[in-house]
Amino acid sequence: MTQAYNAPFVELERLTKTFGTRKAVEDFTLTIQRGDCIGLIGPNGAGKTTLLKMVSGILQASRGSVSINGKKIEQQRALIGYLPQYPQFHDWMTAEEVLSFYGQLSGGKKTALQARVLEVLGTVGLAESGKRKVGGFSGGMKQRLGIAQAIIHRPEFVILDEPVSALDPIGRREVLDLIGGIKQSATVIFSTHILGDAQEICNRFCIMRMGQKLEDFYYSDWTKSKQTNALFIECRLVNQAWINHVQKMARVYVRDNAVQLEALEPDEAWVRRILSSLLEYNVEFSKIEAGKLSLEDYFIQLVGGKDE
């Protein structure tokens, strides 16, 4: 599915990473537009962290390439802000010292960074903790500091690896709000297996499993195509002959006695034909709902379970 945006900003071309005989990521291709906020969705072990490390330039790909504005990633690292899944800092440094250090690594001058450090600490809600040593920070505070170090140099492309997975509900809420603010001025991709979080702030989703891309879609397009052409039917008993029949005009997913139907293509008469088939095959049902398919349902259908 596509949506009109400007020329490609970031391009991933057949990215592959092999560890021994195991392919952690295989032939992963993705074109990212400016303004995208992409939720990289997948179960644990899907290869999300490995992929993001290659995109950020931290991990060298076994094959494939990453480019920003048509230039190799090595020439564009100043445009990237990166938050690892488990940000690590020296406990003896203060938050201000951490940000000043990372700002200088990105090419900033120490004296010129002072105002920016205070600004970013305010942005992430740590304005009152700038002179505290990081060793005394809670997990949520460290995560917010990690986001601060990722944006200290005003990057155009921000990469966040599982930014909320280890946080309590309050910490998750704070970090999601931060990401919502970051996406106003930067292109964002972040990995997660918490679909509700991604659905709240992302305009685009990329689903992966076992190192491969399964789907890539803009949420507005998905909502239009999946929810307006879907039926959820709670059957008293699933009739296999009926299932065989409707498979000719729908993608069919069965879980216990719940049947999910998606139209193979837009068709105004599709719902009427499905309902007629219920009578034709004497299917007993207790509930019918249109447009029932949720992003979580779709994810489960694609992924099916955890990767090993």
Cα gap 51→66, rounded to integer Å? 11
Residue 226: pLDDT band with limits 50, 70, 90 = low
Domain 229-290 has CATH 3.30.70.100: yes
- CA 42 from chain center: how many Å? 8
Cα gap 76→156, rounded to integer Å? 10
| Residues 30-67 as b or e (16 or more Cβ within 10 Å = b) | bebbebbbbbbbbbeebbbbbbbbbbbbebebeebebb
Residue 305 in this model has a pLDDT that exceeds 70: no
pLDDT for the residue numbered 269 = 85
pLDDT tens digits for 82-127?
999 888 999 999 999 999 999 998 877 777 788 999 999 999 999 9
Tell me, what amino acid is at 24? A
Domain limits of the chain? 8-218, 229-290
pLDDT tens digits for 85-97?
888 999 999 999 9
Residue with the larger pLDDT of the pair 49 and 221 = 49
Residue 304 in this model has a pLDDT that exceeds 80: no
Beta bridge partners of 133: 94
Highest mean pLDDT among 4-8, 152-156, 303-307: 152-156
Most distant CA pair in the chain: distance in Å? 78
Question: What is the percentage of the chain residues whose pLDDT exceeds 90?
Answer: 58
Q: For all residues of the chain together, what is the average pLDDT?
A: 88
Burial class of residue 13 in the structure, from the number of CB atoms within 10 Å of its CB (0-12 exposed, 13-18 middle, 19+ buried)? middle
pLDDT tens digits for 22-41?
999 999 999 999 999 999 99
The angle formed by the CA atoms of residues 145, 159 and 299, to the nearest 5 degrees, is: 115
Fold of 8-218: Rossmann fold (3.40.50)
Least confident of 84-88, 206-210, 240-244, 302-306: 302-306
Contacts of 16 by beta carbon, 8 Å cutoff, 6+ apart: 23, 25, 26, 27, 28, 61, 62, 63, 64
Mean pLDDT for the stretch of residues 209-218: 93
pTM as predicted: 0.79
Instruction: At 103, list the tokens.
Output: 């700002």
pLDDT for the residue numbered 74 = 85
pLDDT tens digits for 43-62?
888 999 999 999 999 999 99
Least confident of 80-84, 150-154, 176-180, 263-267: 263-267
pLDDT tens digits for 155-193?
999 999 999 877 788 888 888 999 999 999 999 999 988
pLDDT for the residue numbered 50 = 97
Cα gap 1→15, rounded to integer Å? 21
Residue 5: pLDDT band with limits 50, 70, 90 = very low
Highest mean pLDDT among 65-69, 224-228, 230-234: 65-69
Q: Could you tell me how many residues make up the chain?
A: 308
Least confident of 111-115, 120-124, 223-227, 295-299: 223-227
pLDDT for the residue numbered 293 = 62
